């Protein structure tokens, strides 16, 4: 297919060398003009505005619980809407449901493969989804009376590993991202594909849905170093953001839905604004040389947490762009993290087989 397109392009170029070159020049000229117009709107640097704010004082967060039970690297975690339960998935092929208050394991679900790379709680708190090297996303209804595995249901299938999944505003639809470079929206009841999203040139590593009331857009980040914003209704990519120099491992919307943060293997986190259509902040230090695997905001949006390969969590002032503190929390890389829905706790997961709850 591509060979035919290339042949047709070469034939067209041979027939109309001048027109092809003219169109290329015009395209470059339009790109330059767009960049100039965007630069005119960039009247004040985000960090300069942030300096007017008072620094965050007495930022005190400590480890309160350690969740032990996985026999392999923890790869993903998600909070339940009840602000108490956590689902985690691991390289050991297990998905565990935890009570974060008591550290008890309420469910242990064994998957058909190892490397369960994605897990997510449904908005109701009564269902979880997970997947990984099996290329599938499987749902498990949660009940204290029955083993969740007896009611499991495969709702999504990709042509490569499942890297991430997230329910929409209800338990009836789920969004997935995959190593096959696509994202997809699925109907849970019928296990049918509703919409597919093509555009990434590498593995999709992370997705996040907009927290706005309409909730019709989501952002994805991948190994092609770009973040893409999609319209779920049409399947169209509506914005593309570049700037990272390596894989994007994590994307997370700002609480207002007007911006999102990314964490990358290039050892930086960045903040991209949808309205300004550009990067507005970069969180980095010369001393940070290890990649960032996971990002999340505090409920207010003032604080950005980043989990890194050097076993730490860097805590950033999202507005000033400065580091507030470092959490020395694990004995191996921090692979995932998430702030609880009420903003009172932070959970971190690591390749050291444990999760920790901070408050």
Compute and round to an integer the Cα radius of gyration of the chain: 21
Q: Give dist(CA 272, CA 218) in Å, integer.
A: 14
Q: Which two tokens stand for residue 123?
A: 């908005």
Q: Give dist(CA 164, CA 152) in Å, integer.
A: 18
Partnered with residue 110 across adjacent β-strands are 94
Asked if residue 220 lies in contact with residue 228, where contact means CB atoms within 8 angstroms, the answer is yes
- Residue 336 confidence (pLDDT): 98
Structure confidence at residue 185 as a pLDDT band (50, 70, 90) = very high
- Residue 47 confidence (pLDDT): 73
| Confidence (pTM) | 0.90
Residue 241: which residues within 8 A CB-CB, separation 6 or more?
226, 227, 228, 229, 262, 272, 278, 279
Asked if residue 109 lies in contact with residue 94, where contact means CB atoms within 8 angstroms, the answer is yes
Tell whether the model's pLDDT for residue 309 goes beyond 50: yes
The HSE-up count of residue 231 (CA atoms within 13 Å, CB side) is: 7
356: nearest Cα among 26, 62, 146? 62
CB atoms within 10 A of CB 170: 11
Q: Give dist(CA 61, CA 339) in Å, integer.
A: 12
The HSE-up count of residue 259 (CA atoms within 13 Å, CB side) is: 20
The stretch 239-243 carries a mean pLDDT of 96
Least confident stretch, 208-217, 252-261, 336-345: 208-217
Mean pLDDT, all residues of the chain:
93
Tell whether the model's pLDDT for residue 257 goes beyond 50: yes
Residue 60: which residues within 8 A CB-CB, separation 6 or more?
none
Q: Give dist(CA 232, CA 188) in Å, integer.
A: 16
Q: Give dist(CA 6, CA 13) in Å, integer.
A: 10
């Amino acid at each position: 297919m591509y060979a035919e397109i290339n042949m047709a392009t070469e034939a067209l170029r041979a027939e109309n060398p001048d027109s092809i070159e003219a169109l290329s020049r015009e395209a470059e000229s339009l790109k330059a003009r767009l960049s100039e117009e965007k630069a005119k709107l960039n009247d004040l640097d985000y960090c300069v505005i942030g300096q007017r704010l008072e620094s965050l004082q007495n930022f005190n967060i400590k480890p309160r619980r350690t969740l032990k039970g996985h026999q392999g690297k923890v790869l993903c975690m998600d909070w339940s809407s009840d602000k108490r339960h956590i689902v985690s998935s691991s390289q050991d092929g297990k998905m565990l449901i935890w009570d974060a208050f008591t550290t008890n394991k309420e469910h242990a679900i064994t998957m058909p493969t190892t490397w369960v790379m994605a897990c997510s709680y449904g908005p109701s708190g009564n269902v979880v989804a997970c997947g990984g090297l099996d290329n599938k996303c499987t749902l498990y209804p949660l009940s204290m009376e029955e083993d969740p595995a007896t009611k499991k249901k495969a709702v999504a299938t990709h042509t490569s590993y499942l890297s991430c999944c997230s329910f929409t505003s209800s338990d009836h639809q789920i969004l997935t991202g995959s190593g096959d470079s696509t994202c997809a929206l699925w109907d849970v009841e019928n296990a049918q594909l509703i919409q597919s999203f093509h555009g990434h040139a590498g593995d999709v590593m992370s997705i996040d849905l907009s927290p706005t009331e309409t909730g019709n857009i989501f952002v994805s980040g991948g190994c092609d170093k770009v973040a893409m914003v999609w319209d779920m209704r049409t399947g169209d990519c509506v914005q593309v953001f570049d700037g990272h120099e390596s894989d994007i491992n994590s994307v997370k919307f700002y609480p207002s839905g007007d911006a999102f943060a990314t964490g990358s293997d290039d050892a930086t986190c960045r903040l991209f604004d949808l309205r300004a259509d550009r990067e507005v902040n970069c969180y980095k230090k010369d001393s940070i040389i290890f990649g960032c695997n996971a990002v999340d905001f505090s409920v207010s949006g003032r604080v950005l947490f980043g989990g890194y390969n050097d076993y730490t969590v860097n805590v950033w002032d999202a507005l000033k762009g400065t580091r507030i503190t470092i959490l020395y929390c694990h004995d191996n890389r921090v692979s995932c993290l998430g702030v609880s829905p009420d903003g009172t706790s932070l959970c971190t997961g690591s390749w050291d087989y444990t999760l920790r709850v901070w408050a």
